[in-house]
Amino acid sequence: RALTDLVTIWIVNDEKMENPSLAANTLQPQPVLVDDMCGHYMSTPNSETSPASKRSRTEDGCLFALFNHHAKHALSQAQRRYISDLIRPEQLAEVMKSEKINFGSVAAYNLLPNWKPVLRPFGDAVKLPKLITIAGYNYTALRRCARAISSRLERAGSRVEIVMYSYRELSEKAKNGTLDETLVVTNINLDDNRHASAFSNFFSNAVLYHTLGAQNAAWLDAQMENVRAFSPLEDYLSALEP
């Protein structure tokens, strides 16, 4: 693969980013002419391009929550629908704004921004478990999403516990079948090789396969094998769309 000649990397103190006074975008100076939420800059040595002409690019991917079919205390279908209604993107954005933990993000209505929005039926209010647990890996954006989800569920009457593992720990618990929290917050991001990256994000995702349960995971695995067998690489994104 062709690589850029120069990449600039910012190292951020992850602990300090959890300080609400540092976290809110509204309190931070914004770069000029940057419209998108997440991005990176690339350049070559001796480039004469002016800073004003640099552009940020929105990441292809999203943060999302999974209902864990291997949870210690399984949710009913009615409870899953109700929780889906409680934690809609707009609702979580409002919580983040009110708690000053908002960050550069936009509402997602499918796993990838170029896929058609998924329409979900509204869930009727039902009694939720007294305790709901949320797992994820230790990443600032996921921690904030987990906090926002927790806030919404607590308003509905549940007590919520959040456990953030290292990325390796989360993957290992999924692989060995010990990941048993009610919800799992995770994310996918595509690199510049978007078609192959999208396939890899789904086909090699231990957390996704674990939370789906055996029957759903077997169905997904068969679909992925079908895409790999019958679709050219350049068509993977459209072939993978639900």
The predicted-structure confidence for 129-180, as pLDDT tens digits, reads as follows 999 999 999 999 999 999 999 999 999 999 999 999 999 999 999 999 999 9
Long-range Cβ contacts of 103-106 (<8 Å, 24+ apart)? 103/23, 103/25, 103/140, 103/141, 103/144, 104/25, 104/37, 104/38, 105/37, 105/38, 105/63, 105/141, 106/37, 106/58
| Alpha carbons within 13 A on the beta-carbon side of 128 | 25
Answer yes or no: are the C-beta atoms of 128 and 84 closer than 8 Å.
no
Distance CA 12, CA 99 (A): 21
Distance CA 190, CA 91 (A): 26
Q: Which of 212, 93, 203 is nearest to 141 (CA)?
A: 93
Q: Tell me, what's the pLDDT at 31?
A: 42
Q: Tell me, what's the pLDDT at 71?
A: 97
Q: Which of 104, 89, 102 is nearest to 37 (CA)?
A: 104
pLDDT at 54 over 50: no
Average pLDDT, the chain: 84
pLDDT digits (tens, 9 = 90+) for 169-226: 999 999 999 999 999 999 998 888 899 999 999 999 999 999 999 999 999 999 999 9
Structure tokens at 19: 């300080």
| Choice between 208 and 46, residue whose per-residue pLDDT is larger | 208
Distance CA 169, CA 206 (A): 12
Q: What is the CA radius of gyration of the chain?
A: 19
| Choice between 32 and 115, residue whose per-residue pLDDT is larger | 115
DSSP letter (8 states) at residue 184: E
Distance CA 62, CA 111 (A): 6
Q: Tell me, what's the pLDDT at 40?
A: 41
Confidence of residue 37 (pLDDT cuts 50, 70, 90): very low
**Amino acid of residue 187:** N
pLDDT digits (tens, 9 = 90+) for 1-16: 566 677 778 776 665 5
Can you list the domains of the chain with their CATH numbers?
6-53 (no CATH), 61-240 (3.10.105.10)
Q: Which of 184, 175, 70 is nearest to 135 (CA)?
A: 184
